[in-house]
Chains A and B, each alone.
Chain A
Amino acid sequence: MKNRGWVCLCAAVIVFAWTTIATAHEIGTTRVSTRFEGESYAIEITTDAASLIEKLDAVGGSPTDATTARVDAAAMAKRLVACDDVFRQRVTVAFDGTDARPNIHYTVSPASDAMSPLLATIRLTGEVPRGASHFTWSYSWTFASYALSVTNGSLASTTEWLEGGQASAPFALAAPPPPVGRAAVARQYLLLGFTHIVPHGLDHMLFVLGLFLLSGRLRTVLAQVSAFTVAHSITLGLSIYGVITVPSAVVEPLIAVSIAYVAVENMLLSELKPWRIALVFAFGLLHGLGFAGALRELGLPRAEFMTALLTFNAGVEAGQLAVIAAAFAIVGWHCRRQTWYRQRVVVPASLLIACTALYWTVERIAPEASALGSWL
């Protein structure tokens, strides 16, 4: 039975990993880098020269002479200069939502060997308007994914993946606020982790209570909480680092289902079974994704990324332990050993938790349905 539990867990992890990892994007050869220095900006686009000219000619209405234009770097650069007006139609450099008109310089480098394509380097330069706070960019001369990197002197840098025609996220040009010290970040994120459980995380609180209610033995509670902690720490870390991504529309209903499952099992079982640990571990993986979603919404300071991640996780642990401590305090150490404990405490409390969790499941899967229910 023990083995079967682990086999099921491994299978679940493999399926989970396959669905989240086994996809890749079609990345082209275009790259865009933007640099702000003082009052000026310089944007450099490197892209395949021949395919850009083909597209410019198609939009501009003059078909490319394939035999001459694709081999001579100087002729291609000349062609790009001639297409300047057309090129500008599908490139946007904007400050605070207002389009700027950069100076554009086109060059095409000779290929390193006969088989390599010629690369065009297009340099857009200009002055940042006085008082501008945000920069946005879009480039519609590619059909594939491309990377946009933005550097603001020594203040900040980002890399964003975009599709052709997709506008970038606004890039703040003002200096970021002064960095906060490590101790302050640790304190802040420890508190954020704790408050994510108590009082804001009622669903996580009910899950931990479900673990507590299974049996009166402290060892049972500790074994489950340990499995849950290890699991959610794994997915919290992996998700924050972008190794796995699962939409919250999937995670949140499953978290509700996990709470219902634990509560229902409490009504059917009175002692720890091996598969329960495996399941709690699997549910921990799910809850970790939920914690990651919350942490992402809060944001992580770039300079103290690891401190914030670790202390947030520690805060979550502290919150869970606080729930268990409170439960011990309310139920009392001795009550847990009484014969009526199961009938009068475990079963009714688990029933209440199960009903609440099932309601959340429906609410999270189909918010319209639950909205209609409350209206009726």
Chain B
Amino acid sequence: MRCRIFVALTTTLALSGTSLRAHDMWIEPATFSPSVGDIVAVKLRVGQDLLGDPLPRDPALINQFFVVDGEGRKPVVGRDGSDPAGFIRVAAPGLLVVGYRSNPSVVDLTPEKFNQYLKEEGLDAVAAVRARRGQTGGARDLFSRCAKSLVASDAPANGQGDRPLGFTLEIVAERNPTTMAAGEDLPLRLTYENHPLAGALVVAINRAHPKEKLSARTDKDGRVRFQLPRTGMWLIKAVHMIEAPPTAGADWVSYWASLTFELQDRASVRSAS
């Protein structure tokens, strides 16, 4: 009954067209380093500066929710309307890549909020298009999420790493951060529709020190490099926005990519290897 009420409430809201502001969304597993055989709760979070609210499992929002391990791709199972949104079982040692792709949500933004959003997310090209066209009003944005998380069970081998999941906008770690120590060089690649996306702002936020953000623009190959200075959980995020097609019922379509993982200290990395 609870699920039914939740779904009914979801549908009611989905159609009401209220105004909200798009925030970051990320995957937060109960642990980033489980043991083989563990059941790991996978929480979805929406918020800012890694301060988030639980996002319960919503069948209307989920487009894809799965985990990829050495054996292939499996769905992240869970109960509709509940937080944590899903659970994964760690079947074998190695790296697990959890992926969540949402259906689009609509947000109506006032001119101030939309301009602030473009500025914060580094969407200079969109701001330039609006300026060129003399568009100063608010906008309707159709946003969707492309979130990933890296979970390492029992010290994955060096050869194992992040992999592309085929999301519209996707951050791929080109070196496995779960085997890296804080301060080491982490190359990341941003792709849009499986092609490198150049000039996009990529931001890295540490859970314990969210105000000390690191940011860089992708080069022509869609690549950025960060030396993440602290241990603990990190969120890497990027937003890409395109003009909405005429049938979309919106002005702009945005994709929010995120990647979460945990960096260990040097001693832990050395003892694991």
Contact = CB atoms under 8 A, between A and B. Distances in A.
Contacts of B41: 115
Interface in A9-58: 15, 18-30, 48, 51, 54-55, 58
11 contacts: A24-B10, A24-B105, A26-B46, A26-B58, A27-B55, A116-B82, A117-B84, A144-B53, A166-B19, A244-B15, A245-B15
B16 interface: yes
Interface string A146-163: 010000000000000111
A79 to B, nearest CB: 15
Interface string B138-182: 000010000000000000000000000000000000000000000
A6 B163 CA distance: 46
Interface in B85-117: 87, 103-106
B183 interface: no
Of the candidates A19, A24, A166, the one having the most CB atoms from chain B within 10 angstroms of its own CB is A24
Given A29-B53, A48-B54, A117-B54, A23 B105 contact: yes
Given A18-B247, A161-B13, A145 B51 contact: no
B18 A145 contact: yes
Contacts of B46: 26, 28, 143-144
Contacts of B103: 22-24
A266 B14 CA distance: 40
Contacts of A307: none
A141 to B, nearest CB: 9
Contact of A22 (B10, B87, B104): B104
B156 to A, nearest CB: 24
Interface size class of A (residues with CB under 8 A): 35 or more
B56 A28 contact: yes
Nearest to B9: A147
Given A145-B18, A242-B16, A245-B16, A26 B61 contact: yes
Given A22-B103, A144-B46, A29 B16 contact: no
Contact of B55 (A28, A54, A164): A28
Nearest to A238: B15
A144 to B, nearest CB: 4
A162 B55 CA distance: 15
A143 B19 CA distance: 13
Nearest to B41: A115
B49 interface: yes
Contacts of A250: 249
B101 to A, nearest CB: 14
Nearest to B208: A63
A241 B45 CA distance: 31
Of the candidates A48, A144, A164, A250, the one having the most CB atoms from chain B within 10 angstroms of its own CB is A144
